[in-house]
Every structure is written in structure tokens, then in C-alpha cells.
């Protein structure tokens, strides 16, 4: 990414999302732009219009933490957006270069990590920030069998959601899943804007999917670690699963996600059926 262009697009998109009423400002007079004016953001942040305009043009090099926090407050940034702004400033200062040099791009997992996954009785997967599905236990592979059907042999949630028609059945709320996936990818781009694999993926999806291109242009970012997701599996039907995601200390950039059903719920019964189907399918494959 071009850092200055990313800063400009991110700040202007956040400014456009805030109404004068939300900011406690008068609404009299004709407004030519959606959201707040630059002068209003500058006043809320306690700085001159000229200085804020310079920031919005992408000049974050040398900007203090206090100024970034003032901008974050004025634009009402959430935790994910605030972290994204800080990363953009670090990139402008060149302070993220060493981290990038030391970061190994993971495309496989260690055998011991796969063994660990296999001891987990609930669906469990390991992915990276590019949304590649790198490993899973038997139940996780069964749950995401549609994603693993990618003919390229490189299962990726972004390609599945935007390029595979099965995704609209698998995700009952497809729009929510699409929004979350793009926000995750935009967040990943802020963490490592020079990740060639991510660049290639974004380029491919932007070229092949209008839905992706429109969402990518919104500059939304996201941090998540837990919640509830709903799926419709082609064998066992509806699955409503809680999930917990955690960064792997030994493998920077990899995320372990474990899914769980409420005890004695219809989803718990469906997971039992899914485990049976997965075991049967595996036995057939081995034969």
C-alpha cells in the first residue's frame, strides 16, 4: 500500500461517518460533504485546520502519540481503528520495517501444532492474517469442507466468500461474513502493508468481485477474539457456534480458533453427527 494514500483514505472515510449531531455540533447551513468538515475535526482535536489538513493528506511521520490520540477521539475511532491509525503512523516513521524483516510468512504449520489440533475434540483451525486456512483437526476440516474444496488447493476464506457460490449457503448472513472478512484483511494490510501474498489476494479479489471491491474501499478495520458465528453445513444443517481466537506465541501471525456448541443444544447434536460423517468420510478415503 501507499502509506500516504492509505492515511488519507482512512481518515477521510472515518470523518465522513460522523454526523454533526453525533459530535455535538450545530447543523445549520448547507453541507457539501458527508459527515464532518476538516475544520470541525480540527476544532474537536484541538489543532489548527492547516495542521489537521496536513495529517489528512497522509503526513503522519513524526506525529506524537498525543496528536494521534486527539485525532482518534475527535473521529470517535474504536479500538481497531485506533490501532490501525497507530500502525499507519509507525509505517510512516519506518519503525515497522524491522518487524517485517523478522516476520516469516507462514504457509504451513509445524507437525507438533497439527498433533495439538488433533487432540482437540471441538472444531479447531489455524489460519493467518491473510485468511488462509492452514490447518485443522478432523472436525474443523469437516466443518469447513466447502472451503477445502478450493480447486487451487490453497483454501482461503476471502476467495471462498467472494468467489465460491457455496459461501452464500454456508453463511446464512453472507453480508456480515463478507464485511468481517474484508475488515480483517484491511486490518492485516495495516499490520504488514508490504505482504506480497496479501497484495496478490486483494488484487485478485478486487478484479473478480464487485462486492469485495466496494467493501475494500470502505476502509473498515476490525479486531475480534470471540463471538458467535452461524453456518449452514451441507450435511448436518444449521450450526450456531461460539468461538475463541488466540494468537500463537510460538508462531507470530498465526491464529488458533476453537469452536464450541452450547451443551445439549441442537448444534451440539449436529456436531456429533458431523464427527460421525467425518470419521466415515476419512475411512472411505483411506480405503
pLDDT value of residue 199: 94
Q: How many residues does the chain have?
A: 287
- Return the CATH architecture of domain 111-286: 2-Layer Sandwich (3.30)
Round to whole Å and give the CA distance between 170 and 89: 38
**170 CB-side CA count, 13 A:** 18
pLDDT value of residue 39: 92
Condensed to tens digits (0 to 9), the pLDDT of residues 41-51 reads 999 999 999 99
Q: In degrees to the nearest 10, what's the CA dihedral of 171, 172, 178, 181? A: -50
| Residues 87 and 192 sit within 8 Å (Cβ to Cβ) | no
**pLDDT band at 33; cut points 50, 70, 90:** confident
7 versus 282: which is more confidently predicted? Answer: 7
70 versus 225: which is more confidently predicted? Answer: 70
Model pTM score? 0.86
pLDDT value of residue 268: 97
Say whether pLDDT at 85 is over 60: yes
At the topology level of CATH, where does 3-95 sit? 434 Repressor (Amino-terminal Domain) (1.10.260)
Domain segments of the chain: what residues?
Answer: 3-95, 111-286
| Residues 69 and 79 sit within 8 Å (Cβ to Cβ) | no
| 271 strand-pairing partners | none
Condensed to tens digits (0 to 9), the pLDDT of residues 219-259 reads 999 987 899 999 999 999 999 999 999 999 989 889 999 99
Condensed to tens digits (0 to 9), the pLDDT of residues 123-180 reads 999 999 999 999 999 999 999 999 999 888 899 999 999 999 999 999 999 999 999 9
pLDDT value of residue 103: 53
pLDDT value of residue 108: 80
Round to whole Å and give the CA distance between 145 and 186: 26
pLDDT value of residue 98: 47
pLDDT value of residue 100: 52
Q: One fold for both 3-95 and 111-286?
A: no
Phi-psi region of 9 (alpha: psi -120 to 50; beta: other; left: phi over 0): alpha
Lowest mean pLDDT among 98-107, 111-120, 136-145, 179-188: 98-107
For the four alpha carbons of 155, 242, 128 and 271, in that order, the dihedral sign comes to: negative
pLDDT value of residue 225: 87
Say whether pLDDT at 16 is over 60: yes
Mean pLDDT of 3-31: 88
**pLDDT band at 282; cut points 50, 70, 90:** low
Amino acid at each position: 500500500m501507499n502509506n500516504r494514500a492509505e492515511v488519507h483514505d482512512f481518515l477521510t472515510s472515518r470523518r465522513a461517518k460522523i454526523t454533526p449531531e453525533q459530535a455535538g455540533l450545530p447543523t445549520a447551513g448547507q453541507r457539501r460533504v458527508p459527515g464532518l468538515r476538516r475544520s470541525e475535526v480540527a476544532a474537536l482535536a484541538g489543532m489548527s485546520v492547516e495542521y489537521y489538513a496536513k495529517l489528512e493528506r497522509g503526513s503522519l511521520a513524526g506525529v506524537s502519540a498525543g496528536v494521534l490520540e486527539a485525532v482518534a477521539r475527535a473521529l470517535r475511532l474504536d479500538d481497531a481503528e485506533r490501532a490501525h491509525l497507530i500502525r499507519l503512523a509507525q509505517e510512516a516513521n519506518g519503525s515497522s520495517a524491522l518487524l517485517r524483516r523478522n516476520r516469516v510468512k507462514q504457509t504451513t504449520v509445524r507437525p507438533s501444532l497439527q498433533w495439538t489440533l488433533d487432540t482437540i475434540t471441538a472444531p479447531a483451525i489455524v489460519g493467518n492474517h491473510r485468511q488462509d486456512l492452514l490447518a485443522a483437526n478432523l472436525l474443523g476440516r469437516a466443518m469447513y469442507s466447502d472451503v477445502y474444496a478450493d480447486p487451487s488447493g490453497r483454501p482461503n476464506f476471502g476467495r471462498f466468500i467472494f468467489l465460491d457460490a457455496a459461501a452464500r449457503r454456508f453463511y446464512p448472513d453472507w453480508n456480515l461474513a463478507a464485511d468481517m472478512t474484508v475488515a480483517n484483511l484491511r486490518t492485516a494490510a495495516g499490520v504488514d502493508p508490504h505482504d506480497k501474498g496479501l497484495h496478490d489476494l486483494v488484487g485478485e479479489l478486487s478484479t473478480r468481485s464487485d462486492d469485495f471491491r466496494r467493501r475494500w474501499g470502505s476502509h473498515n478495520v476490525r479486531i475480534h477474539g470471540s463471538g458467535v458465528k452461524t453456518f449452514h453445513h451441507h450435511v448436518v444443517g444449521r450450526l450456531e457456534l461460539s468461538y475463541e481466537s488466540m494468537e500463537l506465541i510460538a508462531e507470530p501471525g498465526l491464529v488458533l480458533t476453537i469452536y464450541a456448541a452450547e451443551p445439549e443444544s441442537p448444534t451440539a447434536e449436529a456436531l456429533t453427527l458431523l464427527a460421525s460423517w467425518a470419521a466415515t468420510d476419512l475411512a472411505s478415503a483411506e480405503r
